[in-house]
Structures are given as C-alpha cells and as structure tokens.
Amino acid sequence: MLGEDEVEAVGVLAAAKTTGAWTGRSRLSRAVSFLEPYGFVAPALIILGVWQTLPILYTVWLSFHSFAHGLSLFTPQWVGFANYQRLFSDPQIHDSLIATIWFTIGTVPVGAAIALGLALLLFEKLPGLGFFRSLILLPFITPVVATTIVWRWIFNTQYGFLNSLLFSLHLPTVDWLNSPNWSMFALVAYSIWHEVGFTMLIMLAGLTNIDKELKEAARIDGANWLTEFRHITLPLMSPWIFFVLVINVIGAFKVFTQVLTLTGGGPGLSTSIAGYWIEQTAFVNGQIPYAATISVAVLMLVSGLTLLQFMISRRTVFYQ
C-alpha cells in the first residue's frame, strides 16, 4: 500500500495532467474560435485573390515589360517606364480619353436624372405599375449584342427608323453611325436606354426608404410638389444618387460590347472609349504590355475620380 506522501504526490501529478489537458483544450478552442470566421470567408477570399487581385498585380508587372523580338508571354523583357513614356506621348490615347470623357458626361448624369424621373413617376400608385416597371427594366436584362443589332437598324442611314421619321417630317436625315458628330450621341442614347432600368431600381429603393411622415408634414405646412422635392426628396435621395454616380462612372470606363457592335469605335476614334481601346490594343494590335499600361493608367484615373466623388460627397450627401 502507498503511504500518505505517495498518495499526495500521485494526486498532485493527476491534477497537473488534468490541468494541462484542460489548458490545451482551452487553447485549441480559442484557436478554433479565432479561425472559424476566416474559414467561412476563405472561399470568397480565394476567388477574389485568384480572379481579381492576382490579375491586377500581373497587369501592373506586365506594364513594365515588352514582348519585342519574338518574346513570349512567359519571357517578357524589362523595359522600365518606357511604356508609360509612350503613353503620355500617344495621340490615340488622347483621342480615346476625350471620347471616354464625353461618353461619361453623356451617360452618367443624364442617365441618373432620367432614372430619378422615372422612379418618381413609377413610385406613385398608378394602374399597371408592375407592367411599366418591368417594361423599363426589360432592356437591362436583354443581351447587349442582340439589342445593338436592333439599334443599328434604328440608326441606319438609308432605311433606319429615325431617318424615316425625319424624312416623314420633312427634316434632313442624319448619318448617325458614320458621323463623328452623331456617332457618340447614338452610343450614349443606346447606353442610357440599356442601363436606365437598373438605375431606376436603385432610385426606387431610395424613394421607398424616405419616411412618409416628412412628406405629410411638409404638405400640411403648405409645401407644393417642387418644394417637397427640393427640400425633402432630393436631400434624402442624395446617398442613392451618389452611389449611382460612383458605380456608373466606373462602369463608363469599362464599356466595351456596345462600342464593338454598334459603332466599332468609329468613325476614326470618335467612340473608341477606354475599355474598347484597351481591347483593340491588346488583341487586335498585339501590344499586350502596352495595353496593360493603359489599363493601369485607367485604373489610377478611375480611382482618382472615385476619391474625388467621395470628397465632394462629404458636403453634398445627407444621411438620415
């Protein structure tokens, strides 16, 4: 039999083992609790890294290289800032930038204003409200290639709908898609028609979020529709308008499909906006590193414009 001292020693040893095991389990439990949220977001982070972050980093790296003298995609030659020096002296980039600015001005503020007007109309209780909302949203969910074919017929010089209408009104016809003065108008008109439904949905969400009691109080105080819109609706809609402006400015620099199928970037470079010109430089002209340089420059420009919009929003956007 064990003595008292030996029994006490065994008890202390058992308690130490139990305490150590419990401490180990506690540490493991804390580690699992700490890593558990990251496990849930890991698939999204992996997808974001593979399909977004890595291509951006590779594009930046590629902008400092060249494929001259028969070099391949995997053996480029380091050229430093040569591509960026070419970028600032390239007149075609200047023309593409001007076209992008005109396209952005024509689609973003005008499209937002039209979408807000449609949202105000469709926010009221009108008969057939669901039908009209679906009708306006329908262009957004239709393929761009299919709808641009229809719009090419509308803008056709010889037998298009618009010129037939002008001819019936005894007005001069217009060479819509082959005139530098009108091709951008045609591209802007189609883009607004195609995107206004989605923007309208965002505006409708904003209108739904406005407290009805504020409008009722203004009407009791004798405010008319214009006063109510100016002092209540527009300030409370400013976060939604700001959101629309930000995403649409970014989207304007990425537009490609309607340029390719509607105007082909022409005539000349009058509609060769940034997204289209990057594609042409990379896959038509075969200048992939230079196209990567243009992409980096566009990324910096869009980031600057977005930052500027956020700075302006501090004074112009009202949050409830």
Report the range out of 64-68, 156-160, 268-272, 293-297 with the highest average pLDDT: 293-297
Q: To which residue do tokens 């010129």 refer?
A: 163
Same domain as 256, residue 152: yes
21 has a pLDDT exceeding 60: no
Same domain as 95, residue 42: no
In the three-class reduction of DSSP (H, G, I as helix; E, B as strand; rest coil), residue 11 is classed as helix
Note the pTM of the prediction, 2 decimals.
0.83
C-alpha closest to that of 256 among 96, 95, 60, 49: 96
Count structural domains, the chain. Answer: 2
Mean pLDDT confidence for 134-151: 91
Distance CA 44, CA 123 (A): 36
Confidence of residue 111 (pLDDT cuts 50, 70, 90): very high
Which of residues 202 and 230 earns the better pLDDT score?
Answer: 202
Distance CA 34, CA 27 (A): 10
Same domain as 158, residue 14: no
Q: Is 285 inside any structural domain?
A: yes
Give the CATH number of the domain where residue 265 resides: 1.10.3720.10
Q: Are 71 and 77 in contact (CB under 8 A)?
A: yes
Distance CA 305, CA 235 (A): 22
Domain extent, residue 197, equals 84-316
Q: Is 69 inside any structural domain?
A: no
Is the bond leading into 127 cis (omega within 30 degrees of zero)? no
Same domain as 195, residue 299: yes
Distance CA 46, CA 30 (A): 24
Mean pLDDT confidence for 259-282: 91
Distance CA 104, CA 186 (A): 14
Q: Supply 237's token pair.
A: 């809609």
List, for residues 55-65, the tens digit of each pLDDT value.
899 999 999 98
Same domain as 127, residue 239: yes
